[in-house]
Amino acid sequence: MPLQEAYEWVEANKLRLHHWFFATDLSFFIKGGRISKTAGMIGSVLNICPLLNVDVNGRLVPRLKIRGKKKVIQTIVEKMKHIINILKGAVFGIANIIPGVSGGTMAVIMKVFDRIIDILTLDFKKIKENFVFIIFFGIGAVLGIGAAALILKNLFELYFVPTQMFFTGVIMGSIPFIFKIAVTKETPMKKINIIPFIIGMVITLLPLFISDGMKTIPTDSEPTVSLLIIMFIFLFIAAVAMIIPGLSGSMVLMLLGGYPLALSAVTELKF
């Protein structure tokens, strides 16, 4: 990126940074005229720690008044968790749109797989408990899918083989993480565990042997009723595959012939 272009981007986005901080000493707020001496005295007695941030206009804005340093730090940590959940959702969304990369595997690595399963099984008690997580994780997933779709379209057009090799490396590199999570002192590896390993490998490789007769659906296809039904079935199969660790929903969709059309629909917003 040229230096001038980088400078323009920084100038255009500098006010989008979000700062959260707190103060334990109210004397400076009294001296600056932000609060009265009476309010400052009472706040100091009650151990009030104001939680503040800077808005888009560069103004210091008090958001919450919290008693105790420990509680205000916990509040900031909770807000950081929301950002982390957005990032996890973005990784999950990106993984699901990349052929060969398993979104389920990424969910296992990020330790959110169980929460996703609880939500998908319509466990309303779990959904209520994870409602905030669902919102922020969902925001990240949508952003991840949209951004990855735009990038992937260009990468596959310009650097097809290097892009595929990179994704292959990502998949192979994730194997030790899955093994480390699965095999522990409490759950040691046993010979019988080789059987589900082989079954999983067969299920993963099966599409390679049944896709020879499948034809890729052109991106400029007319939206007929039969095409909509076919794409609905393909997307349903891919959606199921996206949740299974080790199985790539996008790869399944690509083998079925519907990936280019689905990617085009996301990047060009053609639904």
Length of the chain: 271
Q: Is the pLDDT of residue 270 over 60?
A: no
List the structure tokens of 254.
Answer: 């690509």
User: Which pLDDT belongs to residue 263?
Assistant: 76
* pLDDT score for 204: 64
* Percent of the chain whose pLDDT exceeds 70: 87
pLDDT band at 240 (very low <50, low <70, confident <90, very high): confident
Break the chain down into helix, strand, coil percent, rounded to 5. 70, 5, 25
Q: Is the pLDDT of residue 17 over 60?
A: yes
Backbone angles phi, psi at 74, to 5 degrees: -60, -35
Q: What is the pLDDT of residues 157-166, one digit of tens each?
A: 788 778 778 7
Residue 102 has pLDDT above 70, yes or no: yes
Q: What is the distance between the alpha carbons of residues 143 and 148, in angstroms, rounded to a whole number?
A: 8
pTM of the model: 0.59
| More confident position, 116 or 211 | 116
Q: Is the pLDDT of residue 1 over 60?
A: no
Q: In this predicted model, which residue has the larger pLDDT, 95 or 266? A: 95
Most confident of 80-94, 97-111, 257-271: 80-94
Rounded to whole angstroms, the Cα distance separating 103 from 213 reads 27
Mean pLDDT of the chain: 78
Q: What is the dihedral of CA 45, 22, 77, 144, to 10 degrees?
A: 150
Per-residue pLDDT, 215: 64
Q: What is the pLDDT of residue 171?
A: 66
Q: For residue 257, what are the contacts with CB-CB under 8 A and spacing of at least 6?
A: 211, 214, 215, 216, 217, 234
Mean pLDDT of 187-211: 74
How far is residue 147's CA from residue 133's CA, in Å, rounded to a whole number? 21
Residue with tokens 């040229």: 2
